[in-house]
Amino acid sequence: MHTYKTLGTCSRQILFEVENDTVKNVKFIGGCSGNLQGIAKLVENNSVDNVINLLKGIKCRNGTSCPDQLAKALEEYKMKNK
């Protein structure tokens, strides 16, 4: 399980797994529970690159959003696991 500490959002952390370049078991800690559960279900079983492309740059407040923070978490994961 990978952990990403969010910045500028209501959620505080994102937990996720990646198996064979596929996003699995996404959980947001804090934030709008219903919306974030929906986002988690929608992105699971998609490729890391596809999720990044879909969510990167979505803004809510502070120039970011929970979906954008998930994209950043996955980008960080990719950089660390080259």
Predicted structure pTM score = 0.95
pLDDT of residue 14: 98
- Stretch 67-71: mean pLDDT, rounded? 98
pLDDT value at 12 more than 90: yes
pLDDT of residue 61: 86
Residue 24's contacts (CB-CB under 8 Å, 6 or more residues apart) are 16, 17, 18, 44, 45
pLDDT digits (tens, 9 = 90+) for 38-66: 999 999 999 999 999 999 999 998 999 99
